[in-house]
Amino acid sequence: MNSPIAILEKYWGFSSFRGSQEKIISAVLEQRDVLALMPTGGGKSICYQIPALVRDGICIVVSPLIALIHNQVDTLKNKGIKAIALTGGIPFDEVIDLLDNCMFGNYKFLYLSPERLQQEMVKERIQKMNVNLIAIDEAHCISHWGHDFRPAYLECESLRGLLPETPVIALTATATKQVASDIIENLKFINPLVVKDSFSRKNIAFKIYREEDKRYRLKQLCSNITKSAIVYVRTRRLSQEVAQFLNANGIKAAYFHGGISKKEKKTKLNAWLTNEVQVMVATNAFGMGIDKPDVCLVAHYQIPDCLENYYQEAGRAGRDGKRAVAALLTNTTDEHLVRQQFLSVLPDTGFLKKAYNKLNNYFQIAYGEGVHQTFQFNFNTFCSSYGLNPLLTYNTLQILDQNSVIALSESFSNKSTVQFISSKEQLFDYFEKNQNIVSIAQTILRTYGGIFDFETKINVQLISKKLSVSEKQVTTVLEQLNKDGIIDYVAHHNDLEITFLVPREDDITINVFAKKVKERQQIKADNLEQMLRYINKYECRSKQLLLYFGEAANEDCGICDVCIQNEDRTHLDFPQISRAILQRLEKHPKTSRQIIEQLPYSKSSILQIIQNLLEDGLIRINTKNEYEIE
């Protein structure tokens, strides 16, 4: 039962390995360090789970996402394998108990977030464990050049010092040559085996759809599928709106984002996994660690911030090896919006210094003082006191937190949310009987559109300023409305905790990491430009993606939007298409959209021929914006 293939059959039900899995597992069992570069769906977790089960002892797995950690641990437990998750928010006493279980409870896997490696108590206990393997998942996070760099990941290096005889395996689905080199250097690999499976996904048709009406195109894509789909959006609000739109058009959809409860997440995920719901509209964290083989469509409703994220998310399609589509919907305004979304809110060195200076002044910290002092922090009041842009300031505080200048409480990114759940008639009756709350409630309604339809983030301080009342009065009204069943209200108070970790030294404090921050901002800008080039470059999509990841492709894929259009241009019978269009218009006028739906040719070819027919005077446009015979 100790052979890798026997373990594979027992726990995973497969009789053979795929790709480079067997090669990687053999190297790990020979005590070699390994860097495994494998595409999404390539079976990375098996590469460390099986050798860990072959040997006595426990495997330590470092992973960046709490949701991914819990998913992996639950999957192992369901197989009858003992595993523990050590993430944030666990009380001190419970952490000690969990670590003791790892030492004496015959557990096979300890999953932890990289931040846990900053705790001396955790490192001391790890050093006493019988560790047979260290696995660094999503290893691109350790690279300064990686798209999702996390400074806490640099702590992974400390495991080498604690367990110098233990082999290390680093795994990622998105690494360029520069990132791979950085991973090897940061983890201090000695003569590692570097394995790179082909990133080619020959069954996925990568397509770009340029549509002013993106909802219509999304409806068409989702209407034509028989299996499951994922639609990626960037905001929680949009996930709800798009899911609502699809449901209104007869497509069973649910939304999924970080703001919904754990119980609701489980219910929604299960509905999608069991095909009660066909389409999951989600923010980008969804899908990691979830192996659903029959996803035949992954649609990006907005432009992602980099090719790494795009390829990883798109790669969740077609895991069963059958034909699938990765669709990216865009239009003329998207490029401007994506630059604004990702680049205009990156603080430069000057703003970092200004905000840090104001932060110290806000808490009256003298030069050289403040280390290890903790304060209650009202973010909105701070921004308004100094006239600071909230988004730039938010990102600044995150940078200060990442670089260990300050420590923010875990609830820093949370905001209060409200949704009106009563009918408008009930609300009017309620106002008649509760005149004291009318002004605050009506101001909320006027300030936030769609608050009847969606859970909406609100700014309590903004409402209080508009009405010249205290935040306490606004909060009291919200609590009353919630109690009386008028709204659903989830409160996250503005008073958060902030701890200063270093003495105040103003510009000197920022100068220590200013160059690093500038480089990171440039990397983000370069990543976005690469993403936009991919969208706008008229070349086989698969070729472009493979080249980005350092892999040459000799042949075009033949199934992406570019290849199909090239094929159309080569083989199209233009007179035949012209006749087909005219035949349909003889019966009654049609819009270009209706013509495209009815003919088996590419949209661009049909539009080109419509333009030719207009110029030749054979058709015209009527007052309903339809084409008709001249």
Neighbours of 7 (CB within 10 A): 19
DSSP string for 97-152: HHHHHHHHS---EEEE-GGGGG-HHHHHHHHHS-EEEEEESSGGGG-TTSTT--GG
Q: 204-339+537-548 adopts what CATH topology?
A: Rossmann fold (3.40.50)
Task: Supply 57's token pair.
Answer: 């002892």
Please give the biggest Cα pair distance in the chain. 86
The CATH number of domain 4-196, selected from 3.40.50.300, 3.40.140.10, 3.30.565.10, 3.40.50.720:
3.40.50.300
- Residue 260, phi then psi, degrees to nearest 5: -90, 160
Q: Give 178-221 pLDDT, tens digit per residue.
A: 889 999 999 999 889 999 888 889 999 999 998 888 999 999 89
The more confident residue out of 542 and 408 is 542
With vertex at residue 340, the alpha carbon angle to CA 337 and CA 342, rounded to the nearest 5 degrees, is 105
- Sequence-distant (≥ 6) Cβ neighbours of residue 465 within 8 angstroms: 384
Contact 331, 357 (CB under 8 A): no
pLDDT value at 1 more than 60: no
Q: How far apart are CA 226 and CA 242, in angstroms?
A: 19
pLDDT of residue 360: 96
pLDDT of residue 92: 77
Neighbours of 580 (CB within 10 A): 18
Query: In sequence order, what E strands does 39-116 have?
Result: 58-62, 83-86, 109-112
pLDDT of residue 413: 59
pLDDT value at 495 more than 70: no
Q: How far apart are CA 619 and CA 605, in angstroms?
A: 17
Which conformational region is residue 448 in: left (phi greater than 0), alpha (psi within -120 to 50 degrees), or beta? beta
pLDDT of residue 568: 64
pLDDT of residue 569: 62
Task: Supply 306's token pair.
Answer: 């980099």
Which of 32-46, 134-148, 441-455, 560-574 comes out lowest in average pLDDT? 560-574
Task: Supply 349's token pair.
Answer: 């060195």
Q: Looking at the DSSP assignment, which residues form a beta bridge with residue 204?
A: 324
Q: Give 279-292 pLDDT, tens digit per residue.
A: 999 988 676 667 78
Which of 48-62, 130-144, 393-407, 492-506 comes out lowest in average pLDDT? 492-506
Q: How far apart are CA 366 and CA 408, in angstroms?
A: 20
Q: Please give the average per-residue pLDDT across 298-318, as a whole number.
A: 92
Look at strands 109-112 and 83-86 and give their pairing. Answer: parallel
User: Between the CA of residue 256 and those of 22, 195, 218, 233, 517, what are the distances in Å?
Assistant: 35, 34, 18, 10, 32
Q: What percent of the chain has pLDDT over 90?
A: 41
pLDDT value at 376 more than 60: yes
Q: Specify the length of the chain in residues.
A: 630
Measured in whole angstroms, the distance separating CA 253 from the mean position of its chain's CA atoms is 19
Which of 456-470, 480-494, 527-541, 560-574 comes out lowest in average pLDDT? 560-574
Q: What Rg do the C-alpha atoms of the chain give, in angstroms?
A: 28
pLDDT of residue 91: 74
Q: Give 596-609 pLDDT, tens digit per residue.
A: 888 877 777 788 88
pLDDT of residue 344: 82
Q: How far apart are CA 315 and CA 311, in angstroms?
A: 6
Q: Please give the average per-residue pLDDT across 496-524, as a whole number.
A: 90
Q: Please give the average per-residue pLDDT across 543-552, as a whole number.
A: 90
pLDDT of residue 414: 61
Q: Please give the average per-residue pLDDT across 349-353, as a whole number.
A: 95
pLDDT band at 328 (very low <50, low <70, confident <90, very high): very high
- The number of CA neighbours under 13 Å toward the Cβ of 407 is 13
Q: Where are the domains of the chain?
A: 4-196, 204-339+537-548, 343-413+496-523, 417-491, 572-629
The more confident residue out of 268 and 458 is 268
Contact 502, 371 (CB under 8 A): yes
pLDDT of residue 493: 61
Asked if CATH classification 1.10.10.10 holds for the domain at 572-629, the reply, yes or no, is yes
SS3 for 449-477 is CCCCCCCEECCHHHHHHHHCCCHHHHHHH
pLDDT band at 235 (very low <50, low <70, confident <90, very high): confident
Amino acid at 371: V
Q: How far apart are CA 313 and CA 40, in angstroms?
A: 8
pLDDT value at 326 more than 90: yes
Measure the N-to-C terminal CA separation of the chain; round to a whole number of Å: 78
pLDDT of residue 596: 83
Contact 355, 404 (CB under 8 A): no
pLDDT band at 46 (very low <50, low <70, confident <90, very high): very high
CA-nearest of 299, 353, 354, 287 to 329 is: 299
Task: Supply 133's token pair.
Answer: 């393997």
What is the dotted CATH code of the domain comprising 343-413+496-523?
1.10.10
Helix (H) or strand (E) holding 184: helix 177-186
Q: Please give the average per-residue pLDDT across 77-102, as a whole number.
A: 85
Q: What is the DSSP letter of 10?
A: I
Contact 157, 188 (CB under 8 A): yes
pLDDT value at 107 more than 60: yes
Q: How far apart are CA 371 and CA 162, in angstroms?
A: 29
Give residue for tokens 């990765």.
326
Give residue for tokens 């300050």.
406
pLDDT of residue 595: 86
Q: Please give the average per-residue pLDDT across 347-362, as a whole number.
A: 95
CA-nearest of 226, 225, 217, 286 to 254 is: 286
pLDDT of residue 59: 96
Do 343-413+496-523 and 572-629 agree at the fold level?
yes
Q: Give 385-433 pLDDT, tens digit per residue.
A: 999 998 899 889 989 987 889 988 756 656 678 888 888 888 888 988 8
pTM of the predicted model as reported, rounded to 2 decimal places: 0.74
Q: Give 125-142 pLDDT, tens digit per residue.
A: 999 999 999 999 989 989
pLDDT band at 19 (very low <50, low <70, confident <90, very high): confident
- Residue 100, phi then psi, degrees to nearest 5: -65, -40
pLDDT of residue 56: 92
pLDDT of residue 516: 86
Q: What is the DSSP letter of 531?
A: H
pLDDT of residue 88: 67
For all residues of the chain together, what is the average pLDDT?
88
Q: How far apart are CA 11 and CA 404, in angstroms?
A: 42
Alpha helices in 224-348 (DSSP H): 236-248, 262-273, 307-314, 334-342
pLDDT of residue 187: 92
